[in-house]
Every structure is written in C-alpha cells, then in structure tokens.
Amino acid sequence: MGELTASAIVIGNEILSGKVADSNSHFLATELRSVGVALQRVVVVPDDLAMIGQEVNACRAAYDLVFTSGGVGPTHDDITIEGIAGALGRAVVRHPDIEEKLRGFYGDKINDARLKMAEVPDGAELITDVSLNFPTIKVENIYILPGIPEIFQQKVARLKTRFTGIPYQLKVIYTSAGEGTIAEFLNDTMREFPDLMLGSYPKIGHPEYTVKVTLESKDGPYVARAFAYLLGVLPDGSVVKTEE
Amino acid sequence: MGELTASAIVIGNEILSGKVADSNSHFLATELRSVGVALQRVVVVPDDLAMIGQEVNACRAAYDLVFTSGGVGPTHDDITIEGIAGALGRAVVRHPDIEEKLRGFYGDKINDARLKMAEVPDGAELITDVSLNFPTIKVENIYILPGIPEIFQQKVARLKTRFTGIPYQLKVIYTSAGEGTIAEFLNDTMREFPDLMLGSYPKIGHPEYTVKVTLESKDGPYVARAFAYLLGVLPDGSVVKTEE
C-alpha cells in the first residue's frame, strides 16, 4: 500500500512579520504522523492571491493531501478562498448550507462581512462530521482550515481519523557522546538498514544527554533490528537511556 | 530605497514528523522585522537533496536574502551544504580555515565526521564577525545557519546588524467587537489608506478583547493618520485598548 503524503500551506502576514508564531503546522505534523501520513512540506506565504495560488497548485499536484491554515474569516485580509479558487480555475460562490447556518446564527445582525464566511470555491464539499460549529470546506484534495489554533486543532483531530495508514514505529537512543563521535556508527547503521529513517539531534546544555538518535520505520521488526544493531556498535558507556 | 526581502528554508525531517517544533523561523521573522527586512516566505523541507536544491533555487531568485536552518552537522542526515552546492552548480570543498579551526579544537580526535563540518560550497564566504565559535557560511545571497536554536539565534542576532533598513511602525487596536462587526470599518480604512498593512486577528476566550487589529507602515505619519481614522470610525465603546 502506498503511503499518503501531505503538505501544509500556512497563510498569514502575521506569521511572516513575527507577530504570531505558527503552532498549527507542528500540531498537524504530529497528528498526521500518528496515523502514518507523511507530511513532506510546510510553507508559510503572505496574504497574497498570487503566492497562495502558486503554492496551492504546486502542492496539490505533488502531494496526496493539502491542508491550508488561515485566511478564512470575514475581513479584508481573509483571501484564502479566493486564492484557492483562482488556482483551481473555479469561481467563488456562496454555499447555501453555510449561508443558512450563518443567517440562523446571526439573525438580523447578518451582514456582508459575515456572509463572506459562506464563500467557497465552486464545487467544494462540506465535511460536517468533523465540524463543531462550522463545516470544514474541502475542494479536490485541499482541506481548508481556519488559522485560530483552538479551531484548527479541533478540526485536525477529527479529520485525521479519515486517514488510517500504518503508523510509524519509533525508537530513541540518547547518547552522552557527541555527533562527531557517533557519526560513523550511524553511517554503519544506514548501510545495514538503508530503509531506516535515522535522525540525529544534538542538544546543547542538557544535563542528561548530548545527542538524541531516533530510529523509525513502518516495519516494526525492521526498526527493532536496527535499534539492536546500533546499540551493539555504539561505544561502551555512550548510551544514557533508550525509549521504545 | 527598495525594501530588502527575505526567505527562510528550514531543513529537517524532525520538524515534518512533529518530533521538534521549529522555533527558528519565528525568531528570524521577529529579528528581520526589527530591521525593516520583509520576510516573505518560510518553507520546511525534508532531508532530501532534490527538495533542498529546488527550494534554494526558487528562493535565491525571488528574494534578496535566503536563510537556511539546519542540516549542517557531522552526521549522515546533514546534507544542506551538498544540497545548496548542487543547486548552485558548485562543488563541495573543504574550507581550509574551518579545517584548521576544527583540527585545532579536536586535536587527535579529529575524524571524517568532524571534518565534514569544514565542507562548504566552492567559493563560499566565511563571515567571522558574527560567529561565536564557528564562522557563518555565506554563498551568493544564502546564509547557511545551524538548526540548533541557541546557535541559530546567536548568529541571527548578530547578522541582522548587516541589514539596516527602515523599521516598520506598528500600532495596535484591541476591540471587544468581533470581526464580523468591525470588517466594514477595516475595509473603509483600507480604501482610505491603501498602502497600510492592516491585520485583523480574532482571539478565542481572551478575557480582555475579541480582535487584535494591527496597523503598520514604514511611513510613521501615514500609519498615525490611519490609526486615528480607524479609531474614529469604529463603533463607540468597541475599543478596549490601544498600543502605539
């Protein structure tokens, strides 16, 4: 079975100008990982139709799934729907189901700004089973999510149940020896286990360890053998602890 | 004077798999903003030569400055130098100044893995005035920075003094009214001040305010007039506080 791949497009001047730190892409990465989906690209673009459109077209062609974050509210800087529609060559239309929901909620306080939130790329699908107050808009392979972290997280936590892949098996070795010392043993391990995902992450000033080494694969026995192999070749006394 | 534009390429499987949250791009965004440089793109790519190379070539053509984060250590997954060199059509060479420094530091503990850290794209420049222990490698318009946050931050904090642009002037209005209520007044403001950077950021569950509105420009009097205008058109009682 092929592995599902994914990309994330985070839209917002506030992130590029440093006013807000994006936490949505990290949350998405963690959630997708837990269901075996490989997130392969995250990109942050400004509130700019051309930039959004260009990235949408690049990502939807290259990855199975595309998730966008941000730019779907009622104000002038919320241009994600228009950007995606433009990229797909679709019109922006008001979705009658969302319009009805908004009119029911706002009553006589409904206005053009609020009705903007009913706009979708023509032909978009509404996912209602993952929505709390508001459906999630999907068009082609693109899931359009709001930037507000609380809502983004709620939606992703439910959406991920749609993508039931084989989860990754992770084992971790913490070493007291530095990367310059263990590099050759990591190289040996990669030669023996070429399909292993092997990461090496030095940490400055940690009281317990110097490098965190991660071993991963969707093949449990394979990662177990690689783990045993690496533990066998690392210098005596260099392993502080392990996690399986 | 034209404005300097910048892009950031964050390299690392650990970020895409959710093991580590990238904090470097947010730090870079904030620091560049403080010296008036416009960060216009952040992208996270895996430890993959083709992906790194493709993004390097896209960014170096489109932006004045490119900053990379990660993938410059001694282990098998540190392939940023090779990726950048490949994109530029340059060979990877050992820089004699860095090699000397490494040999001096490690003495008879020097090995191939450690010497890998002397590798640079052919023709790269070493920036020593911003380095603490280790020079910063620059090639063409690309600044190659390590992923370890402590070192990344130290280097960026010093590098930014090279880019002395006109800083942005920021004013903030916090409203109790929601985006659906204030959207029309934001639109009015954009019509009157088309060059204004105007952001609108709803916050869920904050005890003090509902929306944070940011007004920015490099032209101080312009943003001051826009600020006064927006305060004048917002409904009575909707402004909770302001920051100038």
For chain B, the average pLDDT equals: 94
Does B14 contact A184 at a Cβ distance shorter than 8 Å? no
Residues B76 and B19 placed together within one structural domain of the fold? yes
What are the φ/ψ torsions at residue B143 (nearest 5 degrees)? -100, 120
**What pLDDT, on a 0 to 100 scale, did the predictor assign at position B129?**
73
Looking only at the bridges linking them, the beta strands covering B5-11 and A211-217 are unpaired
Angle between helices A220-233 and A179-192 (to 10 degrees): 140
| CB pair distance less than 8 Å for B43 and A39 | no
**Do residues A68 and A92 touch, judged by C-beta distance below 8 A?**
no
Helix, strand, coil abundance in chain A, percent, nearest 5: 40, 25, 35
d(CA A155, CA A221): 34
A24, A120: one domain: yes
CA B166 from chain centre, in angstroms, equals: 17
Task: Spell B54-82 as b/e; 16+ CB within 10 A means b.
Answer: ebbbbbbeebbbbbbbbbbbbbbbbbbbb
Option in A17, A25, A183 nearest B75 (CB)? A183
Cross-strand partners of A200: A213
Residues A68 and A176 in one domain: no
In angstroms, the CA B168 to CA A96 distance is 42
Phi-psi region of A181 (alpha: psi -120 to 50; beta: other; left: phi over 0): alpha
How close does chain A come to B45, measured CA to CA in Å? Answer: 5
Q: Could you give the C-alpha distances from A109 to A106, A236, B120, B233, in angstroms and in order?
A: 5, 71, 62, 19
Q: Token pair of A204, please?
A: 């400055």
Residue at a domain's end among A162, A179, A199:
A162
pLDDT at residue number B133: 72
Q: Are residues B134 and B45 in the same domain?
A: yes
Give B78 to chain A, closest Cα distance, Å.
9
DSSP calls for B185-205? HHHHHHHH-TT-EEEEEE-TT
Same domain, residue pair A26 and A133: yes
Residue pointed to by tokens 């282990």: B75
Q: What are the 10-residue block averages of pLDDT along chain A, 244 residues in total? A: 87 95 97 95 97 98 98 94 98 96 93 94 90 85 96 94 89 96 96 96 92 96 98 96 95
A175 and A154 fall within a common domain: no
Contact indicator for A159, A6 with CB cutoff of 8 Å: no
Check residue B49 and give its pLDDT. 97
Cα angle: B19, vertex A55, B200; to 5 degrees: 80
Longest CA span, chain A: 74
DSSP secondary structure of B73-104: SSSTT--HHHHHHHHHT--EEE-HHHHHHHHH
Residues of chain A with C-beta less than 8 angstroms from the C-beta of B33? 17-18
What pLDDT does B1 receive?
45
Distance from CA of A158 to the nearest CA of B (A): 18
**B23 and B93, same domain (yes or no):** yes
Domain coverage including residue B149: 5-162
* Final residue before a domain boundary, out of B97, B127, B162: B162
Contacts with A30 (C-beta within 8 Å, 6 or more apart), sequence order: B18
| Same-domain check for residues B70 and B135 | yes
Contact A204 B32 (CB under 8 A): no
Residues of B in contact with A39 (CB under 8 A): 16-18
pLDDT at A29: 98
Dist CA B194 CA B188 (whole Å)? 10
In this structure, the answer to whether residues A155 and A189 fall within a common structural domain is: no
**Burial of A59 per CB tally in 10 Å (0-12, 13-18, 19+):** buried
CATH of the domain at B34: 3.40.980.10
Is A23's CB within 8 Å of B26's CB? Answer: no
Chain A CB contacts of B180 below 8 Å = 74, 106, 109, 111, 113-114
Same domain, A18 and A103: yes
Q: Along the 244 residues of chain B, how does pLDDT read in single tens digits?
A: 468 999 999 999 999 999 999 999 999 999 999 999 999 999 999 999 999 999 999 999 999 999 999 999 999 999 999 999 999 999 999 999 999 999 999 999 999 999 999 999 999 999 987 666 788 999 999 999 999 999 999 999 999 999 988 889 999 999 999 999 999 999 999 999 999 999 999 998 899 999 999 999 999 999 999 999 999 999 999 999 999 9
Chain B hits for A184, Cβ within 8 Å: 111-113
- Residues A119 and A175 placed together within one structural domain of the fold: no
Residue A217's DSSP bridge partners are: A169
- Indicate which CATH number applies to the domain containing A200: 3.30.70.2860
| Boundary of a domain, candidates B138, B162, B186 | B162
Report the domain count for chain A.
2
- As a whole number of Å, the end-to-end CA separation of chain A is 25
Q: What is the pLDDT of residues B123-162, one digit of tens each?
A: 999 998 766 678 899 999 999 999 999 999 999 999 999 9
One domain, residues A94 and A174: no
Cα of B244 vs its chain's centroid, Å: 24
Closest by Cβ to B16, choosing from A29, A112, A116: A29
